[in-house]
Amino acid sequence: MRAYNFSGTIYAAPVDSMGVLTGPLRRTGNLYPLKINVSTKNKKQTSKEHDRSGQTISSLSAIEEVVGECVLRQMTARSFAWAVAGSESLMVGDGGDVVDEEITALGAGDYMSLAHKKASAVVIKNAAGDTTYIEGVDYILNGALGIFTIVDSGEITKDDALKVSYSYAAASGYQIKIATNPTIRLYLRGSLVDDFTGAQIELELYMVTITSPDGINLISEPDTEYEELSLDLSIETPPGKTCPGTIDGVAL
């Protein structure tokens, strides 16, 4: 007997309900620990005969379920989508410029939306175009969201007609749609190394259904070093396979 301590890289690809890959393998990021638990159930036949009543005369052990758990410590668009039972898609769109977008002012504290997000070089004028209002004095702007509100003590009043000119950036990054994919199935493949001996092993799980029991923190607690994503794993045997996975190359 000897001690062991495995580390390594896990790769994941989406699969359908038949265990067929529907997308490419990608690195999951820094994932540890990764635990697999095969639970068994023992069935017993108890004697009713007078001379051995209550004694076990036959027993049978059967595999009840194969489950696991892991903690993902780095985030990708795909794993972000796992956390919210959703899907990710690459955003595509050109940037541009807007001249004199017409907006009617709401009251102070009520935000108005521009036609585009990621706005910069914002200029807000009155309807006649002869007065330019000052950011931070007459209005408060969130350019990333493309929203602004008037300042109560500023020169803009409720129901004033405004003309807004600005530039907006091209769409980039990923959009995560929430609660669109309640059943997330993955094929997992790992390249692991025993830190004591340097022995290499390969882990392969054919079909893993994942859930995120704790969800994901979108605004972190104060003084949090970094966020973690906990995942529960239900490890399935897909059609055509006789087991849910393999671990190859173990030297003991």
pLDDT tens string 217-244? 999 999 999 999 999 999 999 999 999 9
Q: Are residues 141 and 239 in the same domain?
A: no
Residue 71 belongs to a domain: yes
For residues 82 and 189, membership in a common domain is answered with yes
Give the total number of structural domains in the chain. Answer: 2
Residues 74, 111, single domain; the answer is: no
Clarify whether residues 11 and 76 are in a common domain: yes
Q: Nearest CA to 164 among 148, 142, 144, 145?
A: 148
| pLDDT tens column, 78-94 | 999 999 999 999 999 99
Parent domain of 34 = 6-48+59-89+176-248
* Residue 106 shares a structural domain with residue 140: yes
Mean pLDDT of the chain: 95
**56-72 pLDDT per residue, tens:** 889 988 898 999 999 99
Structure tokens at 82: 């796992």
- Give the distance, in angstroms, between the CA of residue 190 and the centroid of all CA atoms in the same chain: 20
Same domain, 79 and 108: no
Cα separation, 199 vs 242, whole angstroms: 27
Output the six-digit token pair for 86. 């959703």
Per-residue pLDDT tens over the stretch 10-57: 999 999 999 999 999 999 999 999 999 999 998 899 999 988 898 988
Per-residue pLDDT of 115-168, as tens digits, reads 999 999 999 999 999 999 999 999 999 999 999 999 999 999 999 999 999 999
Question: At which of 147, 168, 189 does a domain end?
Answer: 168
What pLDDT, on the 0 to 100 scale, is given for residue 251?
A: 72
DSSP state of 86: -
Whether residue 53 lies inside any domain: the answer is no
Measured distance between the N- and C-terminal CA atoms of the chain, rounded to whole angstroms:
8
Q: Which CATH number goes with the domain that contains 156?
A: 2.60.320
Of 125, 143, 168, at which residue does a domain stop?
Answer: 168
Whether residue 54 is contained in a domain is answered as no
What percent of the chain clears pLDDT 70, i.e. is strictly above it? 100
Q: Is residue 119 part of a domain?
A: yes
Q: Which of 168, 194, 209 is the last residue of a domain?
A: 168
* CA-based nearest residue to 204, from 68, 17, 11: 11
